[in-house]
Structure formats: C-alpha cells, structure tokens
C-alpha cells in the first residue's frame, strides 16, 4: 500500500528558500501497483493532500526550519486541551459514555506538553467518584455499566493528577472482584460482564492489576475457575499469543484482522506479565511482527497506518510508534544506558523516527485557531488524536532503554526503564519543540506510574 503512486519519484532534495527536504518526502512513491482499487485511489488522494505540507509548500504553517519542518504550536494545543475539559456543546451527548477517555486524553496530552495537571485533581475526583459501581470498576458515566476501557482511562487519569486523595477514590476490593468476574475460561478478559472479549481487555486488566497491586488469586465464583485457572494472569499470555495473525500483526481476538492498536495492547500486556525480553519472544513471533509493523510506515507521508491497505492516521503515531520501545527491549534485553549522548551519524532505529516527526509536525497539527492535533490535513483536531499524536511524537524524540529486569516473573513490577533524548542521526526538529516523555507500557509519565505503584504496593490486603 505504501507504493501506490501515479508519478515517478524525484531524484533530488527539495529546496525552497534555504529549506532542504529529502526527496522521499516530496514526491510520489517510485513503485505503483497496477491494480487500481478504491483503497489505492484513497491512498493517492491522501498522498496528494499531504505532499504540500511535507514539501513546505502549504500556506498554513507560520514558518519552517532548515529541514522543512514547522514548529510545534504548543500554546495553541494546550489551550485546546483545557477547553476540551470544560463545557462541551450538545453534540457531545453521544460521547457521554466516553467521558473518562476525554479526561485521560486531555490530561495525558497536557502532561506531554509540559503542563501541570494537578489543579484538575479535585474536579476529577468529584466527577469520577459517582461513576464507580458497587460491583467494581468505573463506568463511562453515572448509572452505566462498568467497562474495562473506561476503568483503565479513569485510573490513568487519577494517576495523572496524583495524590493519595485521588488514589483513595479507587475501591480495590471491588476492582478485584469485578476483574475476577471478567476473567474467562480461555484465559482472556471480557471488556464488561457479558461483553466482548478482546486484547484490549488483556492490556487494560494487566495495567490495572500492576498499577493498583491487585491480588492475583481468583475469586471462587470467577468464570475462569471452571477451567482450572487460579490467577488473574493464568493463561493470559497464551491467549494473547493466539491473537497473532498470519501477517505477523495482532488482532482483537483470534481469527480476525491484525490492527496496530492491538499490537500495542499485546506488547504492553506481555511486558506487564513478565520482563519484555522474556515474555514477548516467548509468546509472539517477533520477526514477523517487526515485518508487519515496519510495513505500517508509509512514504512519502512518514506516518503510520493501522492496518494493511489502510491510510496513514496520526493516532497510529502511538499505537504503532509506541510498539518500538517494547520491541527493542524484547530484542536487546536489559542494557546499560549509554553514557555518551553525543549525536551519532547513523540512526539504527527500527523505524524512521524523522519520517514520523516530519508527518506529525507538518501534517498532524490543526492550523486553525482551535489548535490540537489531527489524523491528517483534511481532518479536524480532537482530544483523542491530540493525545496519541503527541505520545507518538514523544516516542520518536526519545529513546527508552530497558536497563534491569524484575527478579521474578511473579512480581507485578520491578523492571527498570530509563529515557533520554534520541541522539543518533540528524535531528530535524528544533529543541524547543521536544515534548515530555511517557512510559512505554503505561502511557503516562514514568514518575506518575511509579508513584501510583508505590502507594498501592503498601496495600497487600483489602
């Protein structure tokens, strides 16, 4: 799909008023599939829409640096996210069950932009407390059914604002009983009682168990007990393994299409079950997964698609871009952090960091007064894309190093990660446009995840 173009590639770098851009990003791909389909036509349209932005020829950006890359409109994006946490128009009624997601997207996005989100603590506590059900877990709104996705988003939001009063909102005993009710005989998790079972459930449950130090022993009435499971984690890695497809990617559940977000969920889940260099190669065919993930990055766009023969979308900057630190940890194992931070000529990353950075800053920013980040130039910004585009930008701008493994797979944490600016190869963005970091497994700042884990590690019982 990356090679669906109508015109031959240019052979020289693009030059415009001192701007130099590699030809890969200023021309159509050199190879075209002769079979014209609806998908290939949409791909051609997407390339045509992105090329002026990638070639620094559009009229919207204020200015470009010497690499043809515009600045990050940080203040504009911060203002957009603050506004999303205020009163929303009536059209957002349909998004009422997704309110915890809006909290998370906005708070996580602001944290990536360097904003202190602690002032939202009181409002968040007051808002989410009624969303917690007596049977455990958080719903999308008051009176609704608890769901793993909204519970995950709520807990991460509480971790982002931090503080014991935020942590104490969470009913851990109720959470444990509810998670036990979601655990299935095949090892996986339903998203809600009686709901769908997919790899999102595996990841969300693993994150909750790890951050909140939830006891692993299953309750006597758990549906999984009938199949001999005694732990919330038993059979989970084996279930995730069944989700890898013939392409090498990961699907929502066994037997369906591979999707970038599910690859991240699988890798994140396995990295919680055990240290990534042990768990990921044990349960996934890593070479085939690397091949599939690599095929998600397109040229000339530089961004990622989420599925085979689909279009580039800014949100996959995280869902696919965020897979690479976990893949690197799986391949390299624990490694001492590099003492020498001198830039090197060669970039040995498994994906094109600069290609992704170019797409995000050139095509992913809403250039209207509203601010925020977006799927592609023809789309409007929203909180979801703002969060995950910024998360992908952070992943491309920094290198996470897995430096120490937990002593025992039975431990819920103990892996040690360090992060530093990525310094290999040419830096195409200005330093003022570097965003903050986010943990490769939990997708909140590392110190926020560690504070949450430390608090709940002291609570062994209920």
Active site residue ranges: 259, 307, 310, 313, 315-316, 375, 382, 385
Collect all residues with Cβ–Cβ distance below 8 Å to 187 and sequence separation of at least 6: 224, 229, 234, 235, 236, 238, 239
Would you tell me the crossing angle of helices 260-273 and 286-294 to the nearest 10 degrees? 140
CA 181 → CA 39, 90, 212, 232, 235, distances in Å?
42, 35, 17, 10, 15
Q: What are phi and psi of 344, to 5 degrees?
A: -110, 155
Asked if 88 contacts 99 with a C-beta cutoff of 8 angstroms, the reply is no
Length of the chain: 462
Q: How far apart are CA 389 and CA 375, in angstroms?
A: 8
Collect all residues with Cβ–Cβ distance below 8 Å to 330 and sequence separation of at least 6: 267, 276, 277, 280, 281, 286
Task: Give the containing element (helix H, strand E) for 133.
Answer: none
Q: Which residues pair with 183 in a beta bridge?
A: 189
Pair of tokens at residue 85: 């946490």
Three-state DSSP class for residue 283: helix
Residue 337 is classified by DSSP as P
CA 12 → CA 24, 27, 49, 104, distances in Å?
9, 10, 21, 44
């Amino acid at each position: 799909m990356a090679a669906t173009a109508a015109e031959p590639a240019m052979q020289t770098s693009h030059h415009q008023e001192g701007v130099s851009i590699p030809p890969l990003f200023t021309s159509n791909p050199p190879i075209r599939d002769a079979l014209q389909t609806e998908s290939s036509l949409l791909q051609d349209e997407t390339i045509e829409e992105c090329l002026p932005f990638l070639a620094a020829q559009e009229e919207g950006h204020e200015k470009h640096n010497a690499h043809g890359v515009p600045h990050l409109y940080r203040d504009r994006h911060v203002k957009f996210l603050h506004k999303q946490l205020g009163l929303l128009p009536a059209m957002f009624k349909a998004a009422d069950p997704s309110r915890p997601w809006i909290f998370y997207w906005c708070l996580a996005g602001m944290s990536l932009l360097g904003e202190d989100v602690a002032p939202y603590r009181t409002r968040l506590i007051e808002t989410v407390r009624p969303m917690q059900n007596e049977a455990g877990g958080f719903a999308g709104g008051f009176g609704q059914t608890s769901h793993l996705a909204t519970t995950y988003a709520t807990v991460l939001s509480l971790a982002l604002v931090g503080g014991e009063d935020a942590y104490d909102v969470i009913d851990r005993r109720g959470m444990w009983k509810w998670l036990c009710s979601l655990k299935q005989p095949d090892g996986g998790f339903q998203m809600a009682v009686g709901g769908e079972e997919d790899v999102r459930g595996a990841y969300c449950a693993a994150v909750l168990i790890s951050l909140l130090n939830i006891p692993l022993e299953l309750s006597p009435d758990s549906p999984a007990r009938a199949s001999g499971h005694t732990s919330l984690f038993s059979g989970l890695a084996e279930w995730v393994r069944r989700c890898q497809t013939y392409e090498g990617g990961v699907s929502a559940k066994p037997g369906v299409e591979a999707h970038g977000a599910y690859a991240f969920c699988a890798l994140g889940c396995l990295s919680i079950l055990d240290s990534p260099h042990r768990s990921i190669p044990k349960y996934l065919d890593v070479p085939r997964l690397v091949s599939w993930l690599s095929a998600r990055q397109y040229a000339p766009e530089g961004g990622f698609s989420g599925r085979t023969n689909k279009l580039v979308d800014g949100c996959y900057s995280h869902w696919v871009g965020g897979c690479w630190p976990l893949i690197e940890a799986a391949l390299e194992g624990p490694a001492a952090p590099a003492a020498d931070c001198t830039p090197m000529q060669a970039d040995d990353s498994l994906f094109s960091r600069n290609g992704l950075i170019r797409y995000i800053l050139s095509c992913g920013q809403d250039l209207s007064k509203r601010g925020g980040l977006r799927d592609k130039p023809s789309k409007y910004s929203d909180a979801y894309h703002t969060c995950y585009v910024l998360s992908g930008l952070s992943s491309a701008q920094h290198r996470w190093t897995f430096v120490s493994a937990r002593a025992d797979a039975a431990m819920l944490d103990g892996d040690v990660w360090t992060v530093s600016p990525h310094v290999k190869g040419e830096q195409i963005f200005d330093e003022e446009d570097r965003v903050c970091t986010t943990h490769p497994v939990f997708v909140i700042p590392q110190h926020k995840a560690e504070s949450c884990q430390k608090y709940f590690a002291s609570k062994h019982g209920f």
